[in-house]
């Protein structure tokens, strides 16, 4: 079984590359580490690659990368994938700071790239804008959520952290409560992408920046139930939903089976559970109507 340790970066297609670079650079506070006519690579202020932008006809998230242990044998991982009927190939796509990757597609057609070698692309740079700490998680609509969850459990070794009803699943590959989410929908498309901020003050400052830039907050600030993160949501230049969050639940010891105790937990200890739809927020407003609008 493959066991990713963390999410690396997400790759987005966008019809307006310059507008996307302006959003992720000037507003988000990411650093343009490298770019050419049709691609751009953006890193956090500590230097980790988190976003790749490719110019295309439509806005779409096409790829996720995950780091595996440095002593991983890609040949062995390829054989493991083959046992599950998954075809893979070794590739070097000249991604800045990243070595060879093992590439394959998940059950819904999203490309997954496993990597074990990487370098910082910047070092504690001073940035304007929000300045997120890291890429936290990516959520997708999927037409067969049980099949997708099974794929990530069986092939990639993810664990289920929580369910909302039978239509929204949170999955983890490290101590973070979730690294990928899956939401039942008729078509495969992005549900939202989330960036972790340092603390609640950082989240408040991000709200001030959104107010100055006249970017509407479409949900939040609120504290979720699943994951218990404090979060806000807005839309980016391609009308995709973006979350800023902090204080996400951590499962420090898998054998103990509960999340790190926090004073805002209602269940003690807080273990993976099935949440009741419509009753998943600890505090905060209900989402604006625009939050539920999906892109075609």
Residue 268 reports pLDDT greater than 90: yes
What SS3 state is found at 101? strand
Residues 67 and 146 both lie in one domain: no
Residues 142 and 210 both lie in one domain: yes
What is the per-residue pLDDT for 294? 79
Task: Give the end of a domain, one of 47, 81, 115.
Answer: 115
Calpha distance 289→285 (Å, rounded): 12
Over the stretch 44-84, which tens digit does the pLDDT of each residue have? 999 999 999 999 999 999 999 999 999 999 999 999 999 99
195 beta partners: 135, 244
The domain in which residue 165 lies consists of 134-292
- The answer to the question of residue 1 being in a domain is no
- In contact, 158 and 70? CB cutoff 8 Å: no
Residues 150 and 212 both lie in one domain: yes
- In contact, 141 and 184? CB cutoff 8 Å: yes
What is the per-residue pLDDT for 295? 67
Residues 68 and 160 both lie in one domain: no
What is the per-residue pLDDT for 126? 79
- In contact, 243 and 231? CB cutoff 8 Å: yes
Residues 115, 121, 123, 127, CA torsion sign: negative
What is the per-residue pLDDT for 293? 87
What is the per-residue pLDDT for 91? 93
Task: Give the end of a domain, one of 83, 115, 147.
Answer: 115
- The answer to the question of residue 128 being in a domain is no
Calpha distance 169→218 (Å, rounded): 22
Residues 170 and 206 both lie in one domain: yes
pTM comes to 0.96
Q: Report the Cα–Cα distance between both ends of the chain, in Å, rounded.
A: 35
What SS3 state is found at 275? strand
Residues 142 and 74 both lie in one domain: no
Residues 159 and 206 both lie in one domain: yes
Residues 89 and 168 both lie in one domain: no
Over the stretch 163-183, which tens digit does the pLDDT of each residue have? 999 999 999 999 999 999 999
Give the Cβ contact number of residue 190 at 10 Å: 22
Residue 296 reports pLDDT greater than 60: no
What is the per-residue pLDDT for 47? 93
Question: Which ranges in the chain belong to alpha helices (H)?
Answer: 17-22, 74-83, 145-154, 200-212
Rounded percentage of the chain residues whose pLDDT exceeds 70: 99
Calpha distance 181→98 (Å, rounded): 25
Residues 182 and 281 both lie in one domain: yes
Residues 151 and 284 both lie in one domain: yes
What is the per-residue pLDDT for 174? 98
- In contact, 196 and 247? CB cutoff 8 Å: no
CATH number at residue 153: 3.10.180.10
Over the stretch 93-136, which tens digit does the pLDDT of each residue have? 789 999 999 999 999 999 999 999 999 998 777 788 999 999 99
Spatial CA neighbour of 234 closest among 246, 224, 244: 244
Residues 92 and 169 both lie in one domain: no
**How many domains does one find in the chain?**
2
- In contact, 66 and 6? CB cutoff 8 Å: yes
Calpha distance 142→144 (Å, rounded): 6
Task: Give the end of a domain, one of 82, 115, 148.
Answer: 115
Mean pLDDT of 233-240: 97
């Amino acid at each position: 079984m493959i066991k990713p340790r963390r999410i690396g970066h997400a790759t987005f297609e966008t019809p307006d590359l310059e507008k996307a670079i302006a959003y992720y650079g000037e507003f988000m506070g990411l650093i343009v580490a490298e770019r050419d006519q049709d691609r751009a690579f953006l890193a956090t202020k500590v230097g980790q690659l988190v976003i790749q932008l490719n110019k295309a006809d439509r806005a779409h998230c096409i790829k996720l990368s995950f780091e595996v242990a440095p002593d991983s044998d890609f040949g062995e991982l390829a054989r493991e994938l083959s046992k599950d009927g998954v075809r893979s190939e070794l590739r070097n796509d000249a991604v800045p700071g990243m070595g060879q990757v093992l590439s394959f597609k998940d059950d819904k057609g999203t490309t997954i790239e496993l990597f074990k070698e990487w370098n910082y692309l910047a070092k504690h740079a001073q940035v304007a804008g929000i300045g997120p700490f890291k890429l936290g998680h990516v959520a997708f609509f999927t037409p067969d959520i049980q099949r997708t969850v099974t794929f990530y459990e069986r092939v990639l070794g993810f664990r289920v952290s929580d369910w909302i009803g039978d239509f929204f699943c949170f999955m983890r590959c490290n101590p973070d409560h979730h690294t990928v989410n899956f939401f039942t929908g008729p078509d495969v498309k992005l549900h939202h992408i989330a960036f972790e901020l340092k603390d609640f003050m950082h989240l408040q400052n991000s709200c001030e920046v959104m107010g100055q830039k006249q970017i509407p907050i479409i949900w939040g600030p609120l504290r979720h139930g699943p994951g218990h993160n404090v979060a806000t949501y807005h839309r980016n230049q391609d009308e995709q939903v973006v979350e800023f969050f902090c204080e996400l639940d951590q499962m420090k010891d898998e054998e103990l089976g509960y999340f790190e105790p926090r004073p805002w937990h209602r269940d003690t200890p807080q273990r993976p559970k099935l949440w009741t739809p419509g009753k998943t927020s600890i505090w905060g407003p209900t989402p604006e109507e625009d939050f539920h609008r999906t892109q075609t």
